[in-house]
């Protein structure tokens, strides 16, 4: 029973750390995304770096909302590139059974 309790405690600790990383990512990327949109930035490399970084956190709903906002904004600048970001999200985060599928 002790091994199970230790394993459960370790998994719980890891899950807690992942949640904290997700919260930190949203905290850090919210002003970046807002700035890109508010200033009507057309700096493609900055937008794409931000999307690339946010993609890692899209399993967390607040991060996914930021990703979607930035994809919608980027659509007017480069629809073809935006489609590649939508597909990257789907490949990484969508499940085969449709659970978790999100229309960007």
pLDDT tens, 9-49? Answer: 778 888 889 999 999 999 999 999 999 999 999 999 999 99
Phi, psi at residue 13, to the nearest 5°?
-60, -45
Interior CA angle at 49 toward 56 and 41, to 5°?
130
Average pLDDT, the chain: 90
Q: Is the pLDDT of residue 62 over 80?
A: yes
Return the axis-axis angle of helices 44-55 and 2-38, rounded to nearest 10°.
Answer: 160
The model carries a pTM of: 0.82
First and final CA of the chain: distance in angstroms? 45
């Amino acid at each position: 029973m002790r091994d199970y309790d230790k394993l459960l405690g370790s998994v719980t600790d890891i899950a807690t750390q992942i949640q904290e990383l997700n919260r930190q990512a949203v905290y850090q990327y919210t002003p970046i995304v807002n700035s890109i949109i508010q200033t009507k930035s057309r700096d493609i490399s900055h937008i794409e770096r931000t999307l690339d970084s946010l993609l890692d956190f899209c399993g967390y709903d607040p991060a996914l909302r930021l990703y979607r906002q930035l994809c919608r904004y980027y659509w007017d600048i480069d629809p073809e590139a935006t489609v590649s970001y939508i597909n990257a999200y789907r490949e990484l985060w969508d499940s085969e059974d449709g659970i978790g599928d999100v229309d960007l």
